[in-house]
Structure 1
Amino acid sequence: MASTVAATPDEIQSGYEPSPWGDFFTGYQPQHLQERSEEWMTVRADELKEEVRKLFKTCDNTAARIFLLDTIQHLGIDHHFEQDIENALSLVLRSDFSNLSLHEVALGFLLLRQQGYWVSPDVFNKFKGEDGSFNKDITNDTKGLLSLYNGAHLLIHGEVILEEAKAFAQHHLELMKGSLSFPLAEQVKRALHVPLPRTCKRIETLHYISEYNEEEGHNTVLLELAKLDFNLLQHVHLKELKAITEWWNSFSGNVGLSFIRGRIVESYTWAYVVYHEKGFKLPRSIISKMIVIITTLDDIYDTHATIEECRKLNGAIQRWDESAVSVLPEYLKNLYMELLRTFRNIEADVPIDMNYEISYLRKSIQNHVTGYLQEAEWAHKNYTPSFKDQVDLTSLTIGAPTLSVSVMAGMADEIMKQALEWVSTVPSVVISAGKIVRFMNDIGAFKRRKCKGDAASSVECYMHEYGVSGDVAISKIDALIEDEWKTLNQARFENHALLPALQRIIGLAYTASFFYDNRNDVYTSSTLLQEIIESFFVKPV
């Protein structure tokens, strides 16, 4: 599909492979629109949506509602039915779970908790014996165990019942996974690798569409809508990819730094993991551009600039004025002017009646670069900080605060001002999301060659401070990742008014499972991402 781009000498020296995409998306035409017009697809999708709304109205029991909600979410069409889903969840919340099966209880638990509705883990007590352990008779209920395993990953700190449920379900799913048939075998395999509440939703949608297609008695209306919706959204994303690639060509051409990673398609994919729905062009654009800027600055601070140049660049960015360009070395002047221009253009793109304040975004980048300077100072002095100091700093320089502010461009107007003010204080959920991404990034990078000038990673700092091996350090950090997920889960129940903002920040944590899966860094080693990107944007369903 995409053509391979030759690496420049600077990229080779820096150890970065080129992105395989080049200008692929500037001229690509989607195949499915040659077969059916976009207008026909839109009209047909609207007809199907009305049929789905009738399904909500005809659901007359709790189990039916739970299964409908689960199917709609798995198929990726839930964004069309937010109010219907809210109404159905309210009915499920008020329902009596006592007569439901393990599969139904666990699925209802998962659906409610992930939408910020508190459900006590005591709903699982009826599946336990007098000794407090889970009954053996549920070990043959594969779907029930799978839902229990997934639902238990929405646990908060101190929920021993759910820790036990997770371990029990995992143990028995591992025992039976080799004897299962399609599609359950694939669903169990995926969940054991990355549990459902932490997975990239669009990857799950692609898997589930093909699996649901093979399921006996599947609802043809839901399936047809899911396929049409994916292909219609693909067309939206392709237009944006064309525009963002053209922006990158202008940005990189003006900056003139051949040693930086060219990752615009991968940056857009990062934004897509958080926001795939049609109405979020602006936050996708802002997130993509901020990731490019963060990556560019990271490559300058990590691999190219001297410590004095790092200090000068930080000083100029804190001033945020064109006159500050005079203090910079010649090769960084164009970058600085392009940075200011990018922010001016983003501000111009924000609708005049939207409460999105660009000043929050500018301040987050200024803070981000101050963090990069601290890392550079540590590297310059060959100083290995304590594990805590390293994590406190690098969970911010991974980009979570800046991206969280970027994400707020997708909030509804009635909460945007409050959401921006809240996220600019860098609350615990932003820090937790940052730690998850940072830890998984560092684990993924641990066995790769470190770039010259890199400060010590969290893995190396832990090894240094506690005198342990890399495997021991990674095991400890894996446990810390679990703690941060509990913090994110807890936050769902603490401020319901800001739940839309929180859910997108949790989406930033999903990107860790996506980009740093299998101990890899597929953002940097982007050819490993090529097949997935093709399935998102190039290959129609």
Structure 2
Amino acid sequence: MAPSGIPAATPEMTNQTGFEPSQWGDFFIEYEPKPLQRSEEWMVTRADKLKEDVRMMFNARSSSRIFLVDTLQHLGIDHLFQEQIHDTLRDISENELTSSATLYEEALRFCLLREHGHWVSADVFDKFKGEDGTFNKDITSEPIGLLSLYNASHLLTHDEPKLEEAITFARHHLELLSYSLKSPLAKQVKRALHRPLPRACKRVETLHYISDYEEEQGHNPILLELAKLDFNLLQHVHLKELKAITEWWKYLYGHIGLSYIRDRVVESYTWAHVIYYERCFELPRIIIAKMMLLITILDDTFDTHATIEECRNLHEAVQRWDESAVTLLPEYLKKFYIELLRSFKNIEDEMPIDINYDIAHLKKAIQNNVAGYLQEAEWSHKNYKPSFKAHVNLTSRTVGAPTVCVSMMAGMDDAIMKQALKWTADVPDVVVAAGKIVRFMNDIAAFERGKCNRDVASSVECYMNEYCVTSDVAIERVYVLIEDEWRTLNQARFENRALLPAVQRIISLAVSASLIYDNRKDVYTSSKHFQKTIEGLFVKPI
């Protein structure tokens, strides 16, 4: 069902290019959440008291702190204890666990350290193997250990056969055990088998895990209460931002009058929220959402509406980046072009004086994006199917990853922002890998849905054409390539330690693809499939 006050979309309510209308309309402009049992002031005071209680928990022994950090991450409140977690992981990295440590403990330590850029060898799991090099049978009856091993092993880099073996082993035995497990562990195993934890959208996982944690016997009531309070307090922040950006978009969408584009402001904000959900990151959250909306307008114009001459002219105007270039454009694109320039000018003007963010990098990223769109349009105009490699090299960038990644850098600490911004703008391997994952998952979803007549051939189609294989074979091959790109992303944590905060956010873009293109559906384009997630994140308090 549509949210209260919003009519559900019907098949005939599509625009002239076949896109569904917005599921939300003015919902977040008008929405007034129901008052909670306590005032926001009380919630803040109570949360502050609970945070002090949690800080005291970091005085425990090392193995207990491993469990504490893992629980905080699952509950989505690790952002409140960054200093304590940093110190804990440093201590844990310098001290190996005792020989009596369980598989659960060892895998948890491995996972936490690798996630945070500390290298740990896969050899730590050798003690759970026999003389023949295979895992001991006695660990197959420990589902929580197998689950931890399965999740941890997905942080593998290139050429780590031990972790590939661990994934296969753990998955097999988790599948055998899954029918006999009880909740909440059964639900956690089911989610992990669908999508391992390092690739799961953190905020959606938090929604699931708060419910799971409440079911666990012996759960810590302090952590649970703080998680609920923090989620609801952040939801208030996100609702205010949703109202503001919906108002911004309502003016822009109505003013430019392009009825063929996807109306996806709430979905764009949600995508940005997946990357940056914490309270202090309003600026990058809003910039990312706006860039996604502007990219969507450009993408839909090049893909579904403009003639090839109009595409060439729009490309030239964007490269010139000057209001005088508006004379190059057809009448229907002039307002949009002026608003594109104005949007960037407004971002620059509104940038806080203490944030050293050079918007020239973002402008260049958009210009490169448009150059790629023109190449796609030329291919489509000539009915040309490029080689699979040529297609991927181009479209992994036109999917918007470089632009979004440059947008993310507005959230970096000033000490590394200049370096991180320049590094990201040069499109390093980690950005390319994130872009390929988004592109491949997008193309698989698009192939399942069926593409628009004017769309350039997808990577799936290019692979089918070049290698003369069926769609099933092509899609399976693309999934193999996705796995390879995940290894590149995991490797980036250790190759770019000085820029780890930037690397972590870029990886979160790849993580977001698993939400946006889950089950081979494109919930950005077919947004009715995204409605329940959006309601859980923003409409329904815990």
TM class, shorter-chain normalised?
A: over 0.9
1:220 aligned partner, one-letter code: P
1:54 to 53, 56, 64: 56
Deviations 1:101-131 (A, max 9, x none): 0000001100100000000000000000111
Do the aligned partners of 1:76 and 1:201 also contact (CA within 8 Å) in 2?
yes
Distance of aligned partners of 1:8 and 1:356 in 2 relative to their CA distance in 1, 3 Å threshold = farther
Do the aligned partners of 1:6 and 1:18 also contact (CA within 8 Å) in 2?
yes
Q: Which residue of structure 1 lines up, in the alignment, with residue 63 of structure 2?
A: 63
Do the aligned partners of 2:355 and 2:414 also contact (CA within 8 Å) in 1?
yes
Q: Counterpart of 1:248 in 2: which secondary structure?
A: helix
Do the aligned partners of 1:283 and 1:407 also contact (CA within 8 Å) in 2?
yes
1:15 aligned partner, one-letter code: G
1:446 aligned partner, one-letter code: F
Q: What displacement does 1:448 show?
A: 1.7
Q: What displacement does 1:7 show?
A: 7.3
Q: Which residue of structure 2 lines up, in the alignment, with residue 126 of structure 1?
A: 127
Do the aligned partners of 2:261 and 2:297 also contact (CA within 8 Å) in 1?
yes
Counterparts of residues 112-261 of structure 1 (less than 5 Å): 112-261=113-262
Runs of 5+ in structure 2 lacking a partner? Answer: none
2:38 aligned partner, one-letter code: R
Q: Which residue of structure 2 lines up, in the alignment, with residue 461 of structure 1?
A: 462
Q: What displacement does 1:444 show?
A: 0.6
Counterparts of residues 385-424 of structure 1 (less than 5 Å): 385-424=386-425
**With structure 2 as the length reference, what TM-score do the two structures score?**
0.98
Q: Counterpart of 2:494 in 1: which secondary structure?
A: coil
1:89 aligned partner, one-letter code: L
Do the aligned partners of 2:288 and 2:408 also contact (CA within 8 Å) in 1?
yes
Deviations 1:501-526 (A, max 9, x none): 00000010011100000011011010
Deviations 1:378-416 (A, max 9, x none): 000000000000000000000000000000000011110
Do the aligned partners of 1:255 and 1:334 also contact (CA within 8 Å) in 2?
yes
Q: Which residue of structure 1 lines up, in the alignment, with residue 276 of structure 2?
A: 275
1:28 to 23, 26, 31: 31
The size of the alignment, in residue pairs, is: 538
Within the alignment, does 1:13 sit opposite 2:16 as a pair? yes
Deviations 1:12-68 (A, max 9, x none): 43121112100000021222x4422111110110000000000112x12x3211111
1:45 to 44, 47, 72: 47
Matches of 2:63 and 2:29 in 1, distance apart? Answer: 47
Q: Which residue of structure 2 lines up, in the alignment, with residue 436 of structure 1?
A: 437
Q: What displacement does 1:10 show?
A: 9.2
Q: Which residue of structure 2 lines up, in the alignment, with residue 288 of structure 1?
A: 289
Matches of 1:526 and 1:478 in 2, distance apart? Answer: 24
Do the aligned partners of 1:10 and 1:259 also contact (CA within 8 Å) in 2?
no
Q: Counterpart of 2:390 in 1: which secondary structure?
A: helix
Do the aligned partners of 1:260 and 1:300 also contact (CA within 8 Å) in 2?
yes
Matches of 2:476 and 2:15 in 1, distance apart? Answer: 32
Matches of 1:346 and 1:297 in 2, distance apart? Answer: 19
**With structure 1 as the length reference, what TM-score do the two structures score?**
0.98
1:123 aligned partner, one-letter code: V
Q: Which residue of structure 2 lines up, in the alignment, with residue 82 of structure 1?
A: 82
Q: What displacement does 1:6 show?
A: 5.7
Do the aligned partners of 2:448 and 2:520 also contact (CA within 8 Å) in 1?
no
2:402 aligned partner, one-letter code: P
Q: Which residue of structure 2 lines up, in the alignment, with residue 497 of structure 1?
A: 498
Distance of aligned partners of 1:140 and 1:34 in 2 relative to their CA distance in 1, 3 Å threshold = closer
Distance of aligned partners of 1:243 and 1:7 in 2 relative to their CA distance in 1, 3 Å threshold = farther
Q: What displacement does 1:9 show?
A: 7.8
2:28 aligned partner, one-letter code: F
Do the aligned partners of 1:10 and 1:258 also contact (CA within 8 Å) in 2?
no
Matches of 1:211 and 1:243 in 2, distance apart? Answer: 33
Q: Which residue of structure 1 lines up, in the alignment, with residue 311 of structure 2?
A: 310
Matches of 1:6 and 1:199 in 2, distance apart? Answer: 29
Q: Counterpart of 1:492 in 2: which secondary structure?
A: helix
Do the aligned partners of 2:201 and 2:512 also contact (CA within 8 Å) in 1?
yes
Matches of 1:311 and 1:24 in 2, distance apart? Answer: 37
Matches of 1:142 and 1:233 in 2, distance apart? Answer: 34
Distance of aligned partners of 1:315 and 1:8 in 2 relative to their CA distance in 1, 3 Å threshold = farther
Q: What displacement does 1:94 show?
A: 1.9
Q: What displacement does 1:452 show?
A: 2.2
Do the aligned partners of 2:16 and 2:259 also contact (CA within 8 Å) in 1?
no
Matches of 2:473 and 2:258 in 1, distance apart? Answer: 39
Deviations 1:342-389 (A, max 9, x none): 111111121122110111100000000000000000000000000000
Do the aligned partners of 1:200 and 1:273 also contact (CA within 8 Å) in 2?
yes
Matches of 1:151 and 1:30 in 2, distance apart? Answer: 39
Q: Which residue of structure 2 lines up, in the alignment, with residue 383 of structure 1?
A: 384
Matches of 2:381 and 2:278 in 1, distance apart? Answer: 44
Percent identical among aligned pairs is: 65
Distance of aligned partners of 1:320 and 1:454 in 2 relative to their CA distance in 1, 3 Å threshold = same
Deviations 1:233-291 (A, max 9, x none): 00000000000000000111111101110000000000000000000000010000000
Do the aligned partners of 1:11 and 1:260 also contact (CA within 8 Å) in 2?
no
Q: Which residue of structure 2 lines up, in the alignment, with residue 263 of structure 1?
A: 264
1:28 aligned partner, one-letter code: Y
Do the aligned partners of 1:302 and 1:452 also contact (CA within 8 Å) in 2?
no
Do the aligned partners of 2:13 and 2:21 also contact (CA within 8 Å) in 1?
no
1:45 aligned partner, one-letter code: A
Q: Which moved more, 1:444-453 or 1:135-144?
A: 444-453
Q: Which residue of structure 2 lines up, in the alignment, with residue 520 of structure 1?
A: 521
1:112 aligned partner, one-letter code: L
Matches of 1:195 and 1:108 in 2, distance apart? Answer: 16
Runs of 5+ in structure 1 lacking a partner? Answer: none
Counterparts of residues 468-507 of structure 1 (less than 5 Å): 468-507=469-508
Q: Which residue of structure 1 lines up, in the alignment, with residue 102 of structure 2?
A: 101
Counterparts of residues 297-336 of structure 1 (less than 5 Å): 297-336=298-337
Deviations 1:321-355 (A, max 9, x none): 00000110000001100101111111112112211
Do the aligned partners of 1:173 and 1:188 also contact (CA within 8 Å) in 2?
yes
Distance of aligned partners of 1:8 and 1:147 in 2 relative to their CA distance in 1, 3 Å threshold = closer
Matches of 1:351 and 1:36 in 2, distance apart? Answer: 33
Distance of aligned partners of 1:18 and 1:5 in 2 relative to their CA distance in 1, 3 Å threshold = farther
Q: Counterpart of 1:130 in 2: which secondary structure?
A: coil
1:4 aligned partner, one-letter code: P
Q: Which residue of structure 2 lines up, in the alignment, with residue 350 of structure 1?
A: 351
Deviations 1:104-163 (A, max 9, x none): 000110010000000000000000011111111100000000000000000000001000
Matches of 1:485 and 1:161 in 2, distance apart? Answer: 16
Q: Counterpart of 1:212 in 2: which secondary structure?
A: helix
1:22 aligned partner, one-letter code: G
Q: What displacement does 1:95 show?
A: 2.1
Q: Counterpart of 1:179 in 2: which secondary structure?
A: coil
1:132 aligned partner, one-letter code: G
